[in-house]
Amino acid sequence: MEFPHSVLLVVLIATFAISNLVQAEEDQEGFISLDCGLPPNEVSPYIEPFTGLRFSSDSSFIQSGKIGKVDKSFEATTLKSYMTLRYFPDGKRNCYNLIVKQGTTYMIRATALYGNYDGRNISPKFDLYIGANFWTTLDAGEYLSGVVEEVNYIPRSNSLDVCLVKTDTSTPFLSLLELRPLDNDSYLTGSGSLKTFRRYYLSNSESVIAYPEDVKDRIWEPTFDSEWKQISTTLKPNNSNGYLVPQNVLMTAAIPANDSAPFGFTEELDSPTDELYVYLHFSEVQSLQANESREFDILWSGEVAYEAFIPEYLNITTIQTNTPVTCPGGKCNLELKRTKNSTHPPLINAIEFYTVVNFPQLETNETDVVAIKDIKATYELNRITWQGDPCVPQKFIWEGLDCNSKDTLTLPKITSLNLSSTGLTGNIAAGIQNLTHLEKLDLSNNNLTGGVPEFLASMKSLSFINLSKNNLNGSIPQALLKREKDGLKLSVDEEIRCFPGSCVITKKKFPVMIVALVSSAVVVVLVVLVLIFVFKKKKPSNLEDLPPSSNTPRENITSTSISDTSIKTKRKRFSYSEVMEMTKNLQRPLGEGGFGVVYHGDINGSSQQVAVKLLSQSSTQGYKEFKAEVYSS
């Protein structure tokens, strides 16, 4: 393709920095190194003997998965950290949650060595996600020595999720999960993140270079071609230009075997549409005389990208594309051509290729994430689906949640929380109030105790609350009752709507107790008056012939025996719930008198039948007359 003029090359010349690399190697500051599946009976953290890296168990960073171990045939040639793994037979998505520094560039590396741990000889294939976004597909059968996937990523918060997602019948697994902080001035992009495609140092060596030679723990693979020739130095060059390319990478270089020929390098992409960022690292390894020079042009896909470049002796220069480039047909061609003034052929020490991966999906509102995780911890919920981002992608939304996520550009917020019938105990979690966009809350059919919290009334977005079928006590906050009058749908058990000493008037179809009238303007909630009267001298009236009434009763209750035989009993006070039980929730009206409707009932399921008289709001006789009749009986 044509190399556009807007695609400029940025040259970073090495500058000496005051740093102590030995101290950095010892401290591994900011490194996160997880040995996935490290058995609980083994020491954690531990030092990997071969690399000096400090690894810890992954058990504190994941709530699911099982421990596996590679086949014994791998023991002789495999590092300790690769011997165990964690596999995930349950759930569609399983996520590691890591504490990171927001805004810091991290190299994230996931390593999977199948090692026939399950004895099936079927290598799994699955997807990796960072937060809510797809990262890559990991095919564990591609390489017997294990598969490594890397990406440079800048977290949007102080919490980072790395998720394994099942895509077929095979079981996802992971051997190592590692994070390495990078210099924020290196590996910059206009947009997107950088997924490692290739990282080479040009040498005929067979050794892979990584930590501790590379203080950032990047993995450098050697590559060489028959048309090249190697030159090297025993002196250590300066590598302090922000990329900190290992000094032993810069101590060797490749030049064309034919001094007059250009240096050529080709690489084929996995997809011809991939966009690339390319990093070329140069350091002169030969001390040239005053009459000698090494000068060359840099061409990409046949177009000159940089003219008359001269590498500095024992000093790194990094040339990078500052915008992504593509390769015609997926075949990338780098060419270095000596200029007419040059007495030496071109050289190059190392090359890095990164493909652009976009992470467009915004993650769930951080305040909501913190709140729902607090609720999860409070109730010790261990749902397999409650991992990773709560709202997105929508196919992985946490069970019991609804969110407002409509597209990748909308910041997802939690709008509904349904924890009905989940065995919750204790008080209503205070963390709920931090779900500031919550519209529906259902905590019904649990074993919650304590009172109804005041903060529910302050959650302005709430339009529906269901707290029924719990063991809550106390009263409903007045502010919440006011919200109910204004349209909030509130469902609670009647015990906390109408408690000893106070009853609340509601618009429900069944009768609810109220108080005597203190004045014509104020209704004050008083005690339930429930009395059963058995007439000793009066002949019971036949109420069965009276027509039923549709009037809504009010509250104070008296009873009269309707048995044909006079039953002697003492005056007794009954609770409201007992009255409801004996009348089967006022199921059978017998008739209507001056005070209101009379209902049939029986005491404790016995043959002793009673009539329960309720004072109606529409009664033509007042409360005092009703009370007088009660006490005169």
Give the model confidence (pLDDT) of 477-503 as tens digits.
999 999 999 999 999 998 887 544 444
pLDDT of amino acid 142: 67
Residue in the structure block whose two tokens are 């992971």: 174
Q: How does 270-285 read in b/e, with b if 16+ C-beta sit within 10 Å?
A: eeeebbbbbbbbbbbb
Among positive and negative, which fits the CA dihedral 467, 468, 469, 474? positive
Task: Name the phi and psi angles at 582, rounded to 5.
Answer: -70, -25
Extract the tokens encoding 499. Answer: 């408690």
pLDDT < 70 positions in the chain: 1-27, 142-144, 498-572, 591-595, 604-607, 615-633
Q: What is the pLDDT of residue 160?
A: 97
Q: Measure the CA angle with vertex 186, ends 366 and 262; round to 5°.
A: 140
Q: Where are the domains of the chain?
A: 31-182, 197-357, 366-497, 531-632
- Residues 345 and 259 sit within 8 Å (Cβ to Cβ): yes
CATH class of segment(s) 31-182: mainly beta
Backbone φ and ψ of 396, nearest 5°: -115, 20
Question: Could you tell me the CA-to-CA distances from 417 to 162, 433, 444, 581 in Å, in that order?
Answer: 24, 12, 11, 34
Strands 193-202 vs 221-223: parallel, antiparallel or unpaired: parallel
Q: How many CB atoms lie within 10 A of CB 381?
A: 18
- Give domain 531-632's CATH architecture: 2-Layer Sandwich (3.30)
Per DSSP, 551 falls in state P
Residue-level pLDDT at 631: 60
Looking at domain 197-357, its CATH class is: mainly beta
Per the structure block, which two tokens stand in for 62?
Answer: 């994941």
Output helix, strand, coil percentages for the chain, rounded to the nearest 5.
Answer: 15, 35, 55
Domains 197-357 and 531-632 share a fold: no
Give CA angle at 499 (497, 502), nearest 5°: 90
Q: How many residues does the chain have?
A: 633
Which residues are paired to 128 by β-bridges?
136, 164
Cα–Cα distance measured from residue 171 to residue 355, given in angstroms and rounded to the nearest whole number: 27
The whole-angstrom separation of Cα 286 and Cα 584 is 102
What pLDDT is attached to residue 12? 38
**pLDDT recorded at residue 575:** 73
613 is in an annotated binding site: yes
Question: In this predicted structure, what is the pLDDT of residue 608?
Answer: 76
State the number of CA atoms in the 13 A half-sphere of 390 facing the CB: 27
CA dist list (Å): 524 to 504, 515, 618 = 10, 5, 18
CATH superfamily name and code, 366-497: Ribonuclease Inhibitor (3.80.10.10)
Residue 365, Cβ density class (10 Å: 0-12 exposed, 13-18 middle, ≥19 buried): buried
| CB neighbour list of residue 324: distance below 8 Å, 6 or more residues apart | 189, 190, 192, 275, 276, 277, 356
pTM of the model: 0.76
The pLDDT value given to residue 128 = 98
